[in-house]
Structure 1
Amino acid sequence: MVLTWANMEAQTSHPVPRLVVNVTIDQLRTDYMEAFSSLFGAGGFNKVMRDGRSYMDAAYPFSHIDRASAVACIMTGTVPYDNGIVGEHWMDRKTLRPMYCVDDATCEGWLTSEKYSPVALNVSTVTDELKMATGGRALVYSIAPDADAAILAAGHAADGAFWIDNASGQWSSTSYYGQYPDWALRYDVSDRLSGRISDLSWTPISPIVENFNFFISPQESKGFTHKFTGDRKIYEFKTSAYVNDEVNRFAKHCLDHTELGEDLVTDFLSLTYYAGTFDHKPVAEVPVELQDTYVRLDLELAELITMLEKKVGAGRFLLVVTSTGYTDDEITDFSKYRIPTGTFSVTRASALLNMYLMAVYGQGQYVETEFGSQLFLNQKLIEDKQLNLSDVLTRAQAFLIQMAGVKDVYTSQRLALSAGETEIRRLRNSFNQMRSGDIFIEVSPGWKVVNEETHEQTLERASYVGFPIFFFGCNVRPETIKTPVTVDCIAPTVARFMRIRAPNACSAAPLSAVR
């Protein structure tokens, strides 16, 4: 006897969702959610926590997290060691120049001059598996302010990935996914952001938000007004609370003009919101803006749930909400408070190491370049000189560990062979043989890492950033779980809901008793 998809759904107590919506909120933090909870309404975070399953102590199973590596982990169920996305940018060994994680010169852009694709993503995503399981019938779309989040969430086989172009403010895409759809083009004609942005004025949504005193005392309370003009208007808009409204606008247009969630074949929609600080400034400079961002974010989530209930029906969709699990660096003068600190120059460390290796092995440029706190060796020179790479790496490690501000030094070989060592597993998980450096310098917490050539500087920090994972809808059992979980469990859990295979490099088990 052969059962049709509809018969299978009718004969089970746990129907397959008609639509899965994954919402990744860039830099969402549990402590801020708790701090601003009294400002939230009934239909956003409070509804998800009341009627859904909440894991309040989530983490990423690797270090050096950013937006791109986080989204890739959520969708593939694995770490950069396997999926290849070590960050938004990495050093291209062939050109010795930094490259964007979605760069692809073979693809043309739609409504953008940028050329992007998911070609650097080495493994399948949960959306790829859905496409394969349904013979391509499932619809898969991804919408995000930035190209990396949109494309990595879409995966290889999606119907479309859309982001806001940094130059024009238009919703853009890539030819990798085929033609730019008519429904998206109609949005850019009728409700184009570039036609509205100059008239937008961001002020606190209410006096209550303006006078809320989580960061500031009532006596210090002050409002703000931000307009989006000039050369940086799109950049500033993407770091404001209004970008989440724009994501919802485009998501609503997508829901209204596509067949997402309209049949018994599960479809998938990925959205990315922003919960960081305005213009990536320190919290102390924009405290009211951050409070307002969380309150407006709560309203956007409530609006999204209303849209889904109207389009698909309550209980027929699965909503997953989580965070990218990091926060923007804030450069602080620790010395002012007598906290141990210092400045570590990657450029100087690279030059000194090269001088040392020349003294040992003879003339040559042994260190080709540096990226972040990683050093890239000239492996061709080492091979031409018939040197033992292991010996060179060991000597380099012993030399660098003596420098002030260095907590530890890891070579690529040490990381590749350390799968069972718990203390460095998270660092190994963030490493990829093809895209990471030969030497990782772990700088002591509290120290500034500077690159004198690029003028980039970051503050080394190893403190924990708590964030949640929420599952809502589709017969999810309401409960708040305080047991720690890792984000790589999302993909296999969602795959179980859809009754498909987990992504092909995902070894994490799905969460149990979710429904």
Structure 2
Amino acid sequence: MLKRTILLLVIALPLSAKPPDLIVVISVDQFRYEYLTRFAPYLSDGGFNRAIKHGANFTRALYPYAVTYTGPGHAAIGTGHVPARSGIVANTWLDRTTATPVYCAEDKRVVGGYSPLNLDSDSLGDRLQEKVAGSKVIGVALKDRAAILMAGRKATTAYWFDPKMPGFTSSSYYHANRTMLNAFNPSVPAVLTQHHEWTQSTFIPTTDLARLTHDPVSLRKYKTRHGNLGVEFPHPITNIDELTFTPFGNDLVIAFAERIIDDEHLGTDDAAPDLLFVGLSSQDYLGHAYGPDSLEVADSVMRTDRQLEEFFNWLDQKFSGRYTVAITADHGVQSIPEVARDLGRDAGRVDFQNPKKNATFADLAPDRRQLEKLAAKNLRLKVTDKTPVTDALVSYFEEPALYLNWPRLAAAHLDSDRVKRALRDAAKQIRGIRTAFTSSDLIAVDPNSSDIETAMRLSFRADRSGDVLVTLKPGYIWKYSNGDNGTTHGQAVDDDQHVPLLLFGRGIAEGTWSDEVAPTFLAKTIGALVGVYAGGTETRVLPCVKP
């Protein structure tokens, strides 16, 4: 009945409400919702507050699935589907046939190497292209996977940033505007000249910063050093790659987004609405390095807010009342564990990193070695520190998935389901691990599933996901580097799942909604504005759409 009601609403909308000429969907990579509340007094009137105070603010927008990574998040924004449906189950997974990792946006068939080849569900942009002749759908971001997966399989084009060029680029999958690229990219080095140093802004008074952040000098060694940037203000910027790890990377994306709007004549045909996806990836780069409690993230939130204000002012001048904006994020982030512990919280790093091919069990990361030994004990297999990793039960780990060593199982005549259960049960005994599921657990239908099992099932697809999937306790992250530094995301916890969902502009009612919704609802909501049906059956049109 709900699906029928939504469908009738979508069909009726074009008759009662004029669609926007341009829809801009902005994903601020790695942006917690709580940033909007923590830093609320210091936000400008025209940035995030443009939607919070004069648009629609959904205060409880949470991703319903467990794998809160960049690839799955941007696919969810663009398609309205969870990873189990979109096929983007992680940033990277293992191809069991070739035993090689597959990057979510890779495509070895095309010049440029990237496309939506691995995206297995239709997107909002696809539906718009199918129904409305002349509509354009374009994605732009620093990250290829952000631009590509939001824009969808039938996008007009997608652009991403290559710091080695330096400049924006695309692939032969698309009909990229090479004239525009050749005109814009020579201006990129000038941004480095303008921003040769990242200094702390004065948007937040120093006395308030001490209360809003937790960034003692003694803990800065747990931040990640990228290039010459260092771990405290001021940060010298010596090349374009380093610049993308600062808020000034947003300037590149927004400037190019404006150039796209101008050169592609977006929003100029009132019979064919255009759709532009914009991914602001720098927040993720610097968030991984410095953590959400840092002075750097506080400054980045302030600067991003002002950058958005300038962008919205520019849109006002061009489209006065004829456009709609949606703002969300692909995921949040957890605190640097050492910072969290200093604040009195339980936190840590779980290390399942893959060993070198010629390694022994003695070379395994402690947590990975414990996993193997506990599982072997359950299976009554004898292993020692001298056992080669070629005899391990797990051949490959990619957050959050363990892939079985099938040649080892075959040689030892081991039952695969029994091995999966042994690894699952072993994982549950390791410090920081919340729970684990075998692929068989997730394939089975269980009407009494726990919330975490449901979230993991929404993240799972048998041909791509691992044989055992592991999720961590709040405060714990997967270790992804040699040292104890930086932080990450990817868990079914509020810090990773709870993100902004803001809309304003044509067709959007003002208000604040506290009911739990999901960013996956965005595709169906924007679809309702332009008269197309998009998104998964489990999603719905947000109540901010004007009748």
TM-score interval, smaller chain: 0.7 to 0.9
Structure 1: which amino acid aligns with 2:277?
S
Is it true that 1:194 corresponds to 2:189 in the alignment?
Answer: yes
CA distance 1:444–1:204, change in 2 (3 Å): closer
CA distance 1:405–1:30, change in 2 (3 Å): closer
More displaced stretch, 242-251 vs 351-360: 351-360
- Residue 70 (structure 2) aligns with: 67
2:82 aligned residue (55, 79, 84): 79
> Where in structure 1 are there 5+ consecutive unaligned residues?
1-7, 110-114
Is it true that 1:510 corresponds to 2:510 in the alignment?
Answer: no
1: distance between equivalents of 2:480 and 2:371? 10
2: distance between equivalents of 1:205 and 1:337? 24
CA contact (8 A) 1:21 1:268 kept: yes
- Residue 478 (structure 1) aligns with: 510
CA distance 1:341–1:156, change in 2 (3 Å): closer
CA contact (8 A) 2:289 2:486 kept: no
TM-score (norm 2): 0.80
Structure 2: which amino acid aligns with 1:374?
A
Structure 2: which amino acid aligns with 1:511?
L
More displaced stretch, 120-129 vs 278-287: 278-287
Percent sequence identity is 24
User: What is the CA-CA distance between 1:185 and the residue it aligns to?
Assistant: 2.1
> Where in structure 2 are there 5+ consecutive unaligned residues?
1-10, 218-231, 353-367, 384-389
More displaced stretch, 386-395 vs 81-90: 386-395
User: What is the CA-CA distance between 1:371 and the residue it aligns to?
Assistant: 2.4
2: distance between equivalents of 1:142 and 1:386? 49
- Residue 267 (structure 1) aligns with: 274
User: What is the CA-CA distance between 1:444 and the residue it aligns to?
Assistant: 4.1
RMSD (CA atoms): 3.5
1:162 aligned residue (159, 163, 168): 159
2: distance between equivalents of 1:20 and 1:269? 6
More displaced stretch, 323-332 vs 253-262: 323-332
CA distance 1:243–1:335, change in 2 (3 Å): closer
1:425 aligned residue (451, 454, 463): 454
Structure 2: which amino acid aligns with 1:280?
H
Is it true that 1:331 corresponds to 2:329 in the alignment?
Answer: no
User: What is the CA-CA distance between 1:256 and the residue it aligns to?
Assistant: 1.6
1:440 aligned residue (461, 469, 485): 469
User: What is the CA-CA distance between 1:178 and the residue it aligns to?
Assistant: 2.4
Give aligned pairs, total. 493
2: distance between equivalents of 1:357 and 1:456? 34
- Residue 6 (structure 2) aligns with: none
User: What is the CA-CA distance between 1:182 and the residue it aligns to?
Assistant: 1.5
The alignment partner of 2:127 has SS state of helix
TM-score (norm 1): 0.84
User: What is the CA-CA distance between 1:380 and the residue it aligns to?
Assistant: 5.8
CA distance 1:11–1:417, change in 2 (3 Å): closer
1:352 aligned residue (346, 367, 373): 373
Where in structure 2 are the equivalents of 1:26-425 lying within 5 Å?
26-109=29-112, 115-135=113-133, 137-189=134-186, 191=187, 193-204=188-199, 206-209=201-204, 211=206, 213-215=208-210, 224-229=233-238, 233-263=239-269, 264-273=271-280, 274-276=282-284, 278=286, 280-283=288-291, 286-287=294-295, 289-314=296-321, 316-327=322-333, 330-332=336-338, 344-346=350-352, 347-352=368-373, 355-356=376-377, 359=380, 366-379=393-406, 382=409, 388-418=415-445, 420=447, 421-423=449-451, 424-425=453-454
2: distance between equivalents of 1:217 and 1:150? 32
1: distance between equivalents of 2:518 and 2:13? 33
CA contact (8 A) 1:75 1:491 kept: yes
User: What is the CA-CA distance between 1:501 and the residue it aligns to?
Assistant: 1.9
Structure 1: which amino acid aligns with 2:178?
P
User: What is the CA-CA distance between 1:143 and the residue it aligns to?
Assistant: 1.0
The alignment partner of 1:65 has SS state of coil
The alignment partner of 2:209 has SS state of coil
CA distance 1:259–1:374, change in 2 (3 Å): same
More displaced stretch, 266-275 vs 397-406: 397-406
Is it true that 1:464 corresponds to 2:498 in the alignment?
Answer: no
CA distance 1:456–1:78, change in 2 (3 Å): farther
User: What is the CA-CA distance between 1:24 and the residue it aligns to?
Assistant: 0.7
2: distance between equivalents of 1:368 and 1:457? 26
- Residue 7 (structure 2) aligns with: none
The alignment partner of 2:170 has SS state of strand
CA contact (8 A) 2:106 2:114 kept: yes
The alignment partner of 1:177 has SS state of coil
Structure 2: which amino acid aligns with 1:34?
T
The alignment partner of 1:176 has SS state of coil
